[in-house]
Structure 1
Amino acid sequence: MNLQDTPALASAQVELQLPAATPGEPFKETATDGFVLGGFTWQHALPDTTRPVVIINAATSVRCRHYSRFADYLFANGFDVITFDYRGIGESRPASLRDLDASWTDWGALDFEAMLRRAQREFPGQPIDVVGHSFGGCAAGLGASGHVIRHLVTVGAQFAYWRDYAPAHRWRMFGKWHLVMPLVTKIYGYFPGKRLGWLEDTPAGVVRDWSTPTDRYEKRPSGRVAHATHGQLPFAKVSAKTLAISISDDPYGTIAAIERLLGYFTHSTNTHLRIEPHDIGEREVGHFAFFRSAYQATLWPIALSWLQTGELAPDTPGRRVPRS
């Protein structure tokens, strides 16, 4: 069925006539440890406590600019939006990555937490929603203020346990991300991903977390520190209505990988939607394409509907994965 034949989803395609604003306005935000983060805000001119603000958490070593068109779309459909780069990436990159001590846990507990606090300060009284791509879904569970999240949408969200990779790609991906990446990082003091055409340059601490072959986040190097320091990880603070979207040809976001991360969100109401490319008339989608504007008419309305209502529209493509 064509999604545009569904009134609830077809309405999402209409660009609303909203008050004038300056979309994509750059900002700087200081995390609690003093690190200065950079990002962009899409903010309507008139305040409205009923208007949600959406924070978009990027995938590992993907710049926040990758999500700008999706942010434009949310803004046109009545949301305020915050995008940001984790420390070491894009707008938040310091002069030297060799001197940067940054980890996955820092990206969630410090950087994403800083955005939650910014949203509460700059958009007082407004509902706070989150969209997390890949590791960005994991980061959504690492902020101490996670209890303020109303609706959460994750796309291909997991924390890269190698046995969860799609079998057809598993050993190539293991060699690339768990052997080559840490070896190159040891030589350079950071991972020069941009030079190799493998995402953005990445801090060494993030590489250590990514490449450690364990199925538990709290056994990753920075996860161990966080768990030992606080006695637990803060995922359970999130009570948001959560939609986890996975695409069947995404070699990272297998059902096992998505379910592994969802298992940490013990106090949220979780729905896992599995989409086959042919469900939306495509031959392939993969891990990164969801946020490309080519999918504005097919995939973006699914996230929009959830952010608006906390529910899936009746004719949403794909199938719900039964929760174990």
Structure 2
Amino acid sequence: MTVQSPPSPLHPASTATSSPGTAFREPAADDFMLGGFTWRHAEPDPARPVVIINAATSVRCRHYSRFADYLFSHGFDVITYDYRGIGESRPASMRKLKASWSDWGSLDFEAMLQRAQREFPGQPIDVVGHSFGGCAAGLGASGQLIRRVVTVGAQFAYWRDYAPASRWRMLGKWHVVMPLLTAIYGYFPGKRLGWLEDTPAGVVRDWATPTAHYQRRPSGRHLARRDPALPFAKVKAQLLAISISDDPYGTVPAIERLLDYFTSSQRSHWRIEPGDIGEQEVGHFAFFRSHYQDRLWPIALAWLQHAALPTDAPGRLISGSH
């Protein structure tokens, strides 16, 4: 759902009590092998939350490594992982891969929920979701396990929700060019174009389908046949949706559209202008860059720690309460 930036290298947190960023392999329910990294403190603590970070569409989990370092240094255990077809979870052949947005949520994210339960028994489970990663947070069958959620620019790419100034260019790029190239290659060769990671054809079909309803996306229809309400209602977490006003994907309608699916959650939407933090632009991607560690990351940290915003948080409340 976003243009891929060069991945950040793994970088140990300054206050780590063990070596963070340890690689792991984890099978999903269909035995597809997923790859990721764990930041684990040396001593177990049932009061210490473990945070699962859900990436944006076709963005490698390494992009979030410095943010994972930050959470680890503030007392959290952390799991990052790649969806099937991406980064550490890329198979030998992308053309043969059957994968969709719903697979990324109902199989891959669900596998991480199960891993968190097994590897960190008794610890609270929190989630950070970027872009589609916020949607994935609502697609796991074990969503009731989640205590708190922070999403950043989270939506599922309904084209009419794109920012008006960018809408037609984005429509052509993601809903015309991307499907056409996918039809030719059998997957979207995003990496060679410098747009994003190579992307499974099923994910492209979900993204490019022009509907405002997730359950009408190709893989969403599959989930809806089993459960018309979709799994979102299982999530009863305290949810903070962060959006940036110059994010052409994360407009207010786009953020609110996804929030409406989390019917059982306490939801708040916090919107930030670049000028609130002394910047001219931030966009869809920059939140997770270490440049914003002192200005934006404390907002997510405070929510994960206390389900509250810092008293000096830049921005304003769009919906919900805090």
Give TM-score scaled by structure 2 length: 0.94
2:220 aligns with one of 216, 219, 223? 223
Query: 2:159·2:210 contact (CA, 8 Å) conserved in 1?
Result: yes
* Displacement of 1:290: 0.4
1:271/1:320 contact within 8 Å kept: yes
**Do structure 1's residue 105 and structure 2's residue 102 form an aligned pair?**
yes
Structure-1 separation of matches of 2:274 and 2:241: 16
Change (3 A) 1:36 1:169: same
- Determine helix, strand or coil for the equivalent of 2:133: helix
Structure 2 residue aligned with 1:137: 134
Match for residue 95 of structure 1? 92
Q: Which residue identity does 2:30 align to in structure 1?
A: D
The sequence identity of aligned pairs, in percent, is 75
- How far apart, CA to CA, are the structure 2 residues paired with 1:17 and 1:292? 17
Deviations 1:201-228 (A, max 9, x none): 0000000000000000000000001101
Once the two structures are superposed, the pairs formed by residues 198-277 of structure 1 within 5 Å of their partners are: 198-277=195-274
User: What code does the residue aligned with 2:93 have?
Assistant: S
Among 150, 160, 164, which residue is 1:163 paired with?
Answer: 160
Letter in structure 2 aligned against 1:266: T
Pairing 1:146–2:140 present: no
Residue type of the alignment partner of 1:107: W
Q: In the alignment, which residue of structure 1 is the partner of 2:174?
A: 177
SS, match of residue 36 in structure 2: strand
Q: How far apart in 2 are the matches of 1:280 and 1:253?
A: 18
1:118 pairs with one of 95, 106, 115 = 115
Q: Is the 8 A contact 2:161 2:254 kept in 1?
A: yes
Kept in 1: contact 2:16–2:72 (CA 8 A): no
1:109 counterpart letter in structure 2? S
C-alpha RMSD of matched pairs (Å): 1.4
Q: Contact 1:70 / 1:291 at 8 angstroms: preserved in 2?
A: yes
Q: Does 1:67 align with 2:48?
A: no
- Aligned match for 1:313, one of 291, 299, 310: 310
Matching residue of 1:280: 277
Whole-angstrom CA distance in 1 between matches of 2:280 and 2:291: 13
Q: Secondary structure at the match of 2:319?
A: coil
CA shift, 1:231, in A, is 3.2
Q: 1:199 to 1:16 in 2, by over 3 A?
A: closer
Shift of 1:105: 0.0
Q: Residues 92-135 of structure 1, C-alpha deviation per residue, up to 9 Å, x if partnerless? A: 00000000000000000000000000000000000000000000
> What is the CA–CA distance in structure 1 between the aligned matches of 2:25 and 2:246, rounded to whole Å?
37
Shift of 1:244: 0.1
Contact 1:146/1:237 (CA < 8 Å) preserved in 2? yes
Q: Distance in 2 between matches of 1:281 and 1:55?
A: 30
Distance 1:16 1:82 in 2: 14
Contact kept in structure 2, 1:193 and 1:202, CA below 8 Å: yes
Kept in 2: contact 1:113–1:143 (CA 8 A)? yes
Q: Per-residue deviation at 1:17?
A: 7.9
CA contact (8 A) 1:16 1:77 kept: no
Deviation at 1:229, TM superposition (A): 2.4
Q: Write the distance in 1 (CA, Å) between the matches of 2:43 and 2:319.
A: 42
Q: Determine the C-alpha separation between the residues in 1 that align with 2:66 and 2:213.
A: 34
Contact kept, 8 Å, 2:270 with 2:319, in 1: the verdict is no
Cα separation, partners in 2 of 1:178 and 1:17, compared to 1, 3 Å: closer
Displacement after TM superposition at 1:322 (Å): 3.0
